[in-house]
Chain A
C-alpha cells in the first residue's frame, strides 16, 4: 500500500476529528450534467464511529502545519506532533474514490493556518473548484472559512461549497483572548457576516433570475467548545440564540472539550463533558424546533442546565401552572411543550384526534412515550397520574421510579450502601 498517503490520512483525519459537524443535508445540488454525485435533500450517515458519531463526510485537514497557538487545539504550533500536508490532487483523488464506492456523501475540508489566512483559504477553494469543474462532482462539500480571509475568496468558496463555516470556538471574547491569543471575535465574526450577506444576496438574485449562481445552498454553521472555558450554559445558549438570529446560521455545533492537551491555560479534566454537551444540544433543539425562547430554558436563577433531567422536563417542572395539557383539545404548540412528546408524536396526536376522541391506549399504540408525559397530560380529562404531586416528587419518580433508565445503576449503589451499613 502507498504508505505516504496512508500516513497523511492518519495524521490529517486525527487532526480534523474534533470538528463535530458532519451534516450532509440541505444541499440542493442535483446531478444534471451526468456527472458524479447528487446532494439534493436528505443527508446520509454512511457509518458511525465507535463513539457513536455519524460518518458522512471525508473530514480532513489539508495540513496540520499551523502558525497559531490555540490552547484547546491539537494542531497548535507548540504541540509536538507529526505534521503533514496533502496536495490538492491527493484530496481530490481520495474524495472521488471514496464517493464512487459509496463510503461518503462528500468532503469536509479544513486546515491549519500556514503562512496567512488568504494563502490557506485559496488552497481550500482550489480543491473545491477542481472537484466541481474537472471531476464534475455534485456531492457535498463543506469548507471551513479561515478567520481573516478576504471577502473575494469567501465569495468564491461559496460558489463551489454547499456549506461554509467559521468556528467561534469559545463562547466569550475573554476566553478567546486567554486561550487563542492570535484570534479575536472581530476576525471570526467578519467572515460570518460576509457569508451571511452573500447568502441573502444570492437568494434575492435567484428570485429575479433562476439561473443566478447558488451560494453555499446548505447555509453556514459554527462550533463552540464546551468545557474548555468558564462560561455557563446561559452564556453559551444566549450566544447561539444571537448567532441563529443575527447571522442566519443553520446550525451551531457544540463540542465537549476532549482533554487533548496539558496546557496550563486549560482546566484539568479527565473526561469530556458528554452529558453537558448533550443537554446543550437538547436546549438548542428546543429553541429551533419547539418554539422555546432562550429565556425560558436558562435564566439568572438557573444559569446551568440540569444534568440529570432534560431541559424540557426541567422547564415543565418549573412551570407547573401550564399543565395538565388536554391532548384532545390543546394547540399543537402546547403539546410540543409536554416532556417526552416530540415533533412526530405531537403531529400524530393532532392528526388522529380529528377522527376519534383519543384515549391513553391510542397513544401507546401510536408509540407516544408516556414515561414523562403522564405527569403532564390528560386524555378526555382522565389522567394516568394524580396531578397534585409536587415537582420534586415527579422529578424523583421519573429519575428513580420503575422503568427508569437509571434505576439499575441506582439499585446497585443502594445495595452496596446497605451491605456496608
Chain B
C-alpha cells in the first residue's frame, strides 16, 4: 500500500503524478497532508509541490488531450468529492498509457466519471453566474456572498471580470472562507480570517453598510418577479427543478416581501 500526501493544490497533485511515475510506485491513495492518517502498513510518500515537475506532467497531457479534456481534469480537482485524487490519477495514467486520445472513451469508468464530475462542476459554475446577487454598499462596492457545492470561485472570476469591468466588486465564498476582489484593474484573492470577527459573521454585511438605493432596487426586482409570472401556467415542479431550494438564499426575489402586493 502506497499513500501519497500533497499540499492540496492542483500543482501538488500533478507533482504526485510525476513522483509516482519517477518511482514507478502507483498510489493506492492520495490525500492532502492535513487530512492524511499515518499508515500502519505500507509506505507514505510526502510530496512537496514542484512547479517544474507539475508543468512537465501538464505539458505531457497537453500533447495527448484537447483543451476541453484538460479543463475537465481541472474541474475534477475543484469538484473536491472523496476520492477525486485517485480518479484524476487513473485518468492521467490511462491517457499516458494509450497510443490514442482517450477522452471520448466513455466505456472506461474513469473517463466517464471525470466527464460526470466536470459536468456537475460546470453546472454549479453556471448556477453561480446566474444566481449571484450583488448588493451595493455605501462606498460603491458591489458585494455578493456565495457558498457553492463545489469550489467554483476560480472558474467564475473571468466571467464577472469581463462583465463588470467598470464597478468594484467582491465575491466571497462563505464555506471555503476566501474571496476575490476586483479593483477596476485586477482581481486579487482576499481572506477575512485575519479579522477579529467570529467565523459566522465573516463575510456577512450589516444592513447599515448598504447604499441608500439598495433596498429600493431589491424591492423593484421583487415586484418585477411577481408580475412577470403567469398564474394560469403555474408549474411548481418545473420551477423547483430549475431553482432548487438550496439556491433560494442567494435570491432577493425569494426573500419575504416588505411591501404590500
Using a CB–CB distance below 8 Å, which chain A residues touch chain B? 1-2, 5-6, 9-10, 13-14, 16-18, 30-31, 34-38, 42, 44-55, 58-59, 94, 97-98, 100-103, 136, 256, 258-259, 271-272, 274, 348, 351-352, 354-356, 358, 362, 365-366
Contact = CB atoms under 8 A, between A and B. Distances in A.
Given A44-B129, A355-B107, A100 B134 contact: yes
Contacts of B232: 258-259, 271-272
A44 B129 CA distance: 8
14 contacts: A9-B220, A38-B162, A48-B239, A49-B228, A49-B230, A50-B239, A53-B233, A94-B220, A101-B221, A103-B221, A271-B232, A351-B105, A352-B107, A355-B102
A258 B163 contact: no
Contact of A102 (B144, B215, B233, B235): B144
Interface residues of B, number: 55
A102 B216 contact: no
A142 B154 CA distance: 31
A31 B162 contact: yes
Contact of A97 (B104, B217, B233): B217
B251 A47 contact: yes
B142 A35 contact: no
Contacts of A1: 215-216, 219-220, 259
5 closest A-B pairs by beta carbon, nearest first, are: A52-B238, A351-B104, A51-B233, A352-B106, A355-B105
A184 B232 CA distance: 29
B176 interface: no
Contacts, number: 157
B234 A101 contact: no
B53 interface: no
Contacts of A45: 130, 242
A382 B121 CA distance: 36
Interface string B82-115: 0000000000000000000010111111001000
Contact of A13 (B216, B227, B238): B227
B38 to A, nearest CB: 36
A47 B229 contact: no
B130 A38 contact: no
B225 A47 contact: yes
Contacts of B126: 42, 44
Q: Chain B interface secondary structure, helix, strand, loop or mixed? A: helix
B33 interface: no
A6 B261 CA distance: 11
Of B102, B130, B167, B215, most buried by chain A (CB within 10 Å of CB) is B130
B243 to A, nearest CB: 5
A108 to B, nearest CB: 10
A174 B144 CA distance: 53
A309 to B, nearest CB: 20
B87 to A, nearest CB: 15
A48 B243 contact: yes
Nearest to A45: B130
A28 to B, nearest CB: 13
A3 B226 CA distance: 16
B130 A44 contact: yes
Given A98-B217, A274-B233, A365 B112 contact: yes
A39 B187 CA distance: 21
B60 to A, nearest CB: 21
A49 B129 contact: no
B29 interface: no
Interface string B237-258: 1110111000000011100000
A47 B243 contact: yes
Contact of A258 (B166, B213, B233, B243): B233
Nearest to A354: B104
Interface in B113-138: 126, 129-136
A362 B106 contact: yes
Given A14-B227, A45-B242, A136-B166, A2 B136 contact: no
Given A17-B227, A51-B230, A258-B230, A102 B132 contact: yes
Of B112, B136, B213, most buried by chain A (CB within 10 Å of CB) is B112
A355 to B, nearest CB: 4
Contacts of A16: 228
B165 A103 contact: no
A258 B135 CA distance: 36
Given A14-B227, A36-B164, A6 B220 contact: yes
A6 B257 CA distance: 14
Contacts of B129: 44
B223 interface: yes
Contacts of A351: 104-106
A362 B107 contact: yes
B220 A49 contact: no
Given A101-B133, A366-B112, A352 B227 contact: no
Given A2-B216, A47-B253, A51-B235, A17 B221 contact: no
Contact of A49 (B162, B167, B217, B239): B239
B167 A36 contact: yes
A100 B242 contact: no
B142 A6 contact: no
Contacts of B21: none
B236 interface: yes
Nearest to B165: A34
Nearest to A33: B165
Contacts of A101: 133-136, 142, 217, 221
Interface in B185-243: 213, 215-217, 219-221, 223-225, 227-239, 241-243
A10 B223 CA distance: 7
A10 B230 CA distance: 13
Contacts of B112: 365-366
